[in-house]
Structure 1
Amino acid sequence: MAGGFRPIDREGLAAHLTERITGRSGRVRVLVDGAPPAGPVTLARSVAELLRDRGRGSLAVDADDFLRPASVRLEFGHTDAGMFLDGWLDEPALRREVLGPAGPDGSGSVLPRLRDAVRDRAFRDGPVPLGPEGVVLLAGGRLLGRGLPAELTVHLRMGRAALERRLAPDQAWTAVAFARYEAEGDPGAHADVLVMADHPDRPALRDR
């Protein structure tokens, strides 16, 4: 495939990421970035399961469980693309509760969920201990280019036409925001592993 990409299936992609992670010692933070139809959370959970099968503690965290309160993120309405890009994610909470503790000098105790966005109230989860060789996989959209600390970054790139075909009707408005994210943020340039995901079951990957 042109451009250094090679075809792979979803199982192979999960196995490839697992191999890259297990090649590192100590705690590892992984960002799996992509719009919902590209399946970043599903991929992160698959990798976490493979890691646990190998005896390595791991936790997949859904970034949508770390959104800011509705009064803040919906200040300009439910479909404001600018706020969706830059004002929905609770970055300080992700750093404080997930990525900081999972870092080499962190406590190793990671909060799996913070806020129920549907009910707009906090979950009651307690921290999960990762251990000295633990792995946290933070998955969701709009994660790259923010300076979030990680040892491995993955971007699942989906073109706008494919995205518009696959987005749920109530999420169709986000296609504009994700197109801006690709054009202005160039998340692929920040990714250690870039995955072309227009056909999620038949992706192609390129390692940096």
Structure 2
Amino acid sequence: MSTTYRPTGPREFADRWAASLPPGARVGVDGAVEADTTWYADHLLAALRERARPVLVASWQGFWRPRSLRYEFGRDDPESYYGTWLDVPGLYREVLEPLGGPTSRWWVPSLYDPATDRASRARRQEVPDDAVLVLAGSFLLTNALRWGFDAVVHLTTSDAAVRRRVPAQDADRVLGGWHRYLEQDEPVEAAAVVLRCEDPRHPAELVQE
């Protein structure tokens, strides 16, 4: 089996993928550059809404741990960034498990406000059975987290492209954590779709032939 990359466009991809998502799907958009994950999530949201599909929107930042825990070993520690910034049990408890349940569905849109470094105080909400969750962030295909999603789009990006698109002071932390993720969790193998994202405006989709 050979692998190739087929050029596509963000909207073309989103339109095609939105049409294939079943009611109630829990979808992640996973990448090293947060702005890229948000941008692709926005395209997917637009495509779903054009089809009059109910959609839930979330970001991994809404489930970060407090700054005192994230920075326990320093702001720039890549191991902490990979392993402890995200409150995985909280994300499962308040979003992924209740949305994946067989009975009435509910969720809490966020637990944390990164702007204030305090609890977001978001309230539990009941949601339609057919609502699709779209969550953007990093490390969504770790061995601990991947089973909470029905499908994840994984964005691959070279180190040089990451350094061009994240703040200089964050690049070493982001790349260090991302390399650990790629080596330990093999997200390319687990993703439903892989997009090469050197330029987010001109992606290419991994195709196995």
Shift of 1:36: 2.1
**1:161 is matched with which residue?**
160
**1:30 is matched with which residue?**
27
The question of whether the paired residues in 2 share the 8 Å contact of 1:102 and 1:108 is answered with: yes
Q: TM-score, normalised by structure 1?
A: 0.89
Give matches, 1:54-133, under 5 Å: 54-105=51-102, 107-133=104-130
Shift of 1:38: 6.0
Q: In the alignment, is residue 51 of structure 1 matched against residue 48 of structure 2? A: yes
Distance between the aligned counterparts of 2:201 and 2:122, measured in 1? 33
Distance between the aligned counterparts of 1:122 and 1:185, measured in 2? 29
The question of whether the paired residues in 1 share the 8 Å contact of 2:29 and 2:152 is answered with: yes
Distance between the aligned counterparts of 2:35 and 2:182, measured in 1? 14
**1:3 is matched with which residue?**
3
**2:180 is matched with which residue?**
180
Please report the RMSD computed on the Cα atoms of aligned residues, expressed in angstroms.
1.9
Distance between the aligned counterparts of 1:94 and 1:158, measured in 2? 25
Distance between the aligned counterparts of 1:189 and 1:143, measured in 2? 13
Deviation string, structure 1 residues 128-186 (Cα, Å, up to 9, x no partner): 43311111012101110234311111100111121112212232222222123223322
Q: 1:138 aligns with which of 135, 142, 149?
A: 135
- Describe the shift of the 1:61–1:207 C-alpha distance in structure 2 as closer, same or farther (beyond 3 A): farther
Q: Report the residue type matching 2:8 in the other structure.
A: I
The question of whether the paired residues in 2 share the 8 Å contact of 1:81 and 1:176 is answered with: yes
The question of whether the paired residues in 2 share the 8 Å contact of 1:164 and 1:172 is answered with: yes
Distance between the aligned counterparts of 1:134 and 1:207, measured in 2? 29
- Describe the shift of the 1:61–1:185 C-alpha distance in structure 2 as closer, same or farther (beyond 3 A): same
Secondary structure of the 2:26 match is: strand
Instruction: State the number of aligned residues.
Output: 204
Structure 2, unmatched stretches of 5+, are none
Distance between the aligned counterparts of 1:150 and 1:187, measured in 2? 13
Distance between the aligned counterparts of 1:179 and 1:38, measured in 2? 18
Shift of 1:98: 0.9
The question of whether the paired residues in 2 share the 8 Å contact of 1:37 and 1:163 is answered with: no
The question of whether the paired residues in 2 share the 8 Å contact of 1:156 and 1:195 is answered with: yes
User: Percentage identity across aligned positions?
Assistant: 33
Q: TM-score, normalised by structure 2?
A: 0.89
Structure 1, unmatched stretches of 5+, are none
Distance between the aligned counterparts of 2:159 and 2:35, measured in 1? 12
Shift of 1:207: 5.7
